[in-house]
Chains A and B, each alone.
Chain A
Amino acid sequence: MPLDPSYVGRTYPPTSSYLVGREKIREFATAIGATDPAHHDPAAARALGYPDVIAPPTFPVIPTVQARDPIIDDPGLGLDYSRVVHGDQRFAYHRPVVAGDELLCTTVIDEIMSRGGLDFFTTRTEIATDAGEPVVTVWCKLVVRGAE
């Protein structure tokens, strides 16, 4: 079943905030082998001008997916997650995510397209602090394989 294209342009305001923990950044950095002290040691991050440890570039996928998953679970959209593969991913940063940030995600359905038996579903997530400071924009394109 194809995705419902009438969902394009829908905007989902934040439903909760994501508080970035120092230990979560350390855990994520360790999982990807990122040993730069700025990910682990607040003093090293402060030396670069940040108030606490900074996250590796792909860390914002965590709040992005937390905000997006309830949206793609909407049965009206018709997205079968068991047939999904990750197509494209992009981040455009205003600054790195820093421990202590309270992040709010606004999710927009940017594109729904069918081609060659595949459905393409793109979201854009605007991540800002609770004070309204923009931090990063995240685009994620999912590819849904058609039923066999």
Chain B
Amino acid sequence: MNVGDQMPERTYQVTRADLVRYAGASGDFNPIHWNERYAVKVGLPGVIAHGMLTMALVGRAVTEWVGRPDAVVDYGVRFTRPVLVPDDDIGTEIAVSAVVRSVTEDGLVQLDITATCAGEKILAQARATVTG
């Protein structure tokens, strides 16, 4: 991979069912991710996705693009905006793209990642380093 190489945008649909499945698999049962009453009570606009589900989907985008499930050596994000997931069958959509920022002398590839939902960025400082 070379500096400037682009990962084509990938999109992921996220529904309430996905949040329930992720809650069970991860053990994160915070009610803001499944209980509308609770989410509103604590000041959120509604049920929101787990930040770690977003991070997992972005990680998937990166490893699938690179083509190796064990390629990631460093991966960090800042969560900047909640992903609201409506109570319908469509849910919402997260779009992920990335660009190669640098390639180190020992062949590690550093990616700058962009993730958006409803046209707004949901992550900042999202970076992954993968083996080349």
Contacts and interface: CB of A to CB of B under 8 A. Distances in A.
Interface of A: 24, 27-28, 30-34, 36, 38-39, 48, 50, 54, 56-58, 61-62, 65-66, 82-83, 85-93, 95-96, 139
A126 to B, nearest CB: 15
Interface of B: 12, 18, 21-22, 24-28, 42, 51-53, 55-57, 59-60, 63-64, 68-70, 72-79, 82, 125
Contacts of A24: 25
A87 B79 contact: yes
B79 A88 contact: yes
Contacts of A83: 42
Sort A-B residue pairs by CB-CB distance and give the 8 closest, nearest first. Answer: A90-B76, A31-B25, A32-B56, A86-B51, A57-B59, A36-B69, A58-B56, A38-B69
Contacts of B69: 34, 36, 38-39, 48, 54, 56, 96
A95 B81 CA distance: 30
B55 to A, nearest CB: 5
Contacts of B18: 31
A81 to B, nearest CB: 8
Contacts of A50: 70
B60 A93 contact: no
Contacts of A85: 51, 79, 82
A86 B77 CA distance: 10
14 contacts: A33-B12, A33-B57, A33-B60, A34-B56, A36-B64, A38-B70, A39-B69, A57-B72, A85-B82, A88-B79, A89-B55, A89-B76, A90-B74, A93-B75
Nearest to A58: B56
Contacts of B63: 34, 36, 56-57
Contacts of A62: 26-27
A95 B68 CA distance: 13
A34 B24 CA distance: 16
B55 A31 contact: no
B64 to A, nearest CB: 7
B72 A93 contact: yes
Contact of B70 (A54, A58, A65, A89): A54
